[in-house]
Amino acid sequence: MFPRGFASDNNSGVHPAILKAIEEVNNGHTIAYGDDPVTQKAIDRFKQIFGVDIEVFFVFIGSAANVLGLKALTQPHNAIICAETAHINVDECGAPERFTGCKLLSIATTNGKLTVNGIKKHMHGFGFQHHSQPKVISISQVSELGTVYSVDEIRTLADYAHAHGMYLHMDGARLANAAVSLGIGFRAFTRDAGVDVLSFGGTKNGMMYGEAIVFFNQQLAHDFMYTRKQGLQLASKMRYISAQFLAYLQDGQWDSTAKHANTMAQLLAKKVSVIQGVTITQPVQANAVFAIIPREIIPKLQEMYFFYVWDEDRSEVRWMTSWDTSTDDIEKFFALLSELMAGR
């Protein structure tokens, strides 16, 4: 039995309902590579949520959903604008550049969220042949700093992108946490807010593996099946991804787990924020808590709980809650942190 911590929501396991769904499709033979009835049902489920005129492709991981989705939006001479903290910018080992051939243009932000004003720095050189042509604005919802874009913020970016002949891409590795945070359905803050291509995450909210690329503009998905295959993301035994998504998208599943994780983050933040010397640094809008704590406390706390130091210089740490975080986990963590802080 592994202990639970606050390192990342992908350190958690698989939700029992997801595992059960996997077991249920594990019988007999079915055609490989996605032409099976389970996959068809899973795609239909996405269409119920987002509208029938979409295209959906399953891949293995979020980085692949991002990179292949961005490939569908760009030519190699394009540039992709993103936050300096964006997963595509700092956590994918250059895969976006390598697979798309594009340049990434990053923007420093205070809260992980892009704004039109921030983007303007890179909005020049259009039509100048020496210059990588900006073509995509990519945002993460939830952002890497645990903040959530409002529908209006997204729509403003989408309108701005479209007015400049560009696309809006959304990295939704924690899309369910955002939906719960906003209190609205997936469609309202993605397709209806102007997003063109969405990475729809599942792994961080209780799935084993599997993410979806959702194209709200079907034209952009033209030939995408080849891109997925050439991008090494076509599963042979696809039914096991599809079954997970079917279970995940069932009423009560994704939202209850995401709601739980968000609630746990609120609880964690509430509790630790009362400790003298602990400063919460970002609004807690989803399942992440960013905090500055005394430098000497960190290694002691990490003896019991693995988590990431976000910013060495500021002594800022990141604690993630998960679908399986318990109030007891938080109580114990709080107790240890309190004790360590008191013992300084």
Taking CB under 8 A as the rule, which mask of x and - marks residues 36-55 in contact with a second copy? x-------------------
Of 17, 209, 217, 263, which one interacts with a second copy (CB under 8 A)? 209
Sign of CA dihedral 114, 115, 116, 119: negative
Instruction: Decide if residue 17 touches a second copy (CB under 8 A).
Output: no
**How distant, in Å, are the alpha carbons of 63, 88, 90 from that of 94?**
11, 8, 8
Count each helix (H run) and each strand (E run) in the chain, helices first: 13, 11
| Contact set for a second copy, span 52-91 (CB under 8 A) | 60-64, 67, 75-79, 90-91
8 touches a second copy (CB under 8 A): yes
User: 290 φ, ψ to 5°?
Assistant: -105, 135
Nearer to a second copy, 84 or 159 (CB): 84
Does 317 bind a second copy (CB under 8 A)? Our answer is: no
In terms of Cα–Cα distance, which of 145, 161, 247, 143 is closest to 205? 247
Dihedral-angle region of residue 228 (phi above 0 means left; psi in -120 to 50 means alpha; beta otherwise): alpha
Residue 230 within binding range of a second copy, rule CB under 8 A: yes
Burial group, residue 219, by CB count within 10 angstroms (0-12, 13-18, 19+)? exposed
**Cβ proximity to a second copy, 143 vs 203, nearer residue:** 203
225 lies in the site for a second copy, by CB under 8 A: yes
Q: How far is the CB of 243 from a second copy (least distance, A)?
A: 11
Q: Which of these ranges, 5-13, 185-193, 278-286, 295-303, lies near a second copy under the rule CB under 8 A?
A: 5-13
Q: Check the CA dihedral 148-137-46-246 and report its sign.
A: negative
Question: Per rule CB under 8 A, is residue 240 in the interface with a second copy?
Answer: yes
The nearer residue to a second copy, 177 or 203, going by C-beta atoms, is 203
Cβ atoms of 142 and 178 closer than 8 Å: yes
Residues 167-206 as x/- pattern, contact with a second copy by CB under 8 A: ------------------------------------xx--
99 scored as a contact of a second copy (CB under 8 A): yes
Q: How far is the CB of 209 from a second copy (least distance, A)?
A: 6
CA separation for the pair 37, 292 (Å, rounded) = 50
Rounded to 10°, the helix 175-182/254-273 angle is 70
Nearer to a second copy, 93 or 274 (CB): 93
Contact between 80 and 104 under an 8 Å Cβ cutoff? The reply is: yes
> Closest approach of Cβ 128 to a second copy, in Å?
9
Q: What's the min distance (Å) between Cβ of 125 and a second copy?
A: 8
CB of 292 to a second copy, least distance (A): 18
Binding of a second copy at residue 306 (CB under 8 A)? yes
10-41 per-residue burial string, b: 16 or more CB within 10 A, e: under 16: ebbebbebbbebbeebeeeeeeeebebebbee
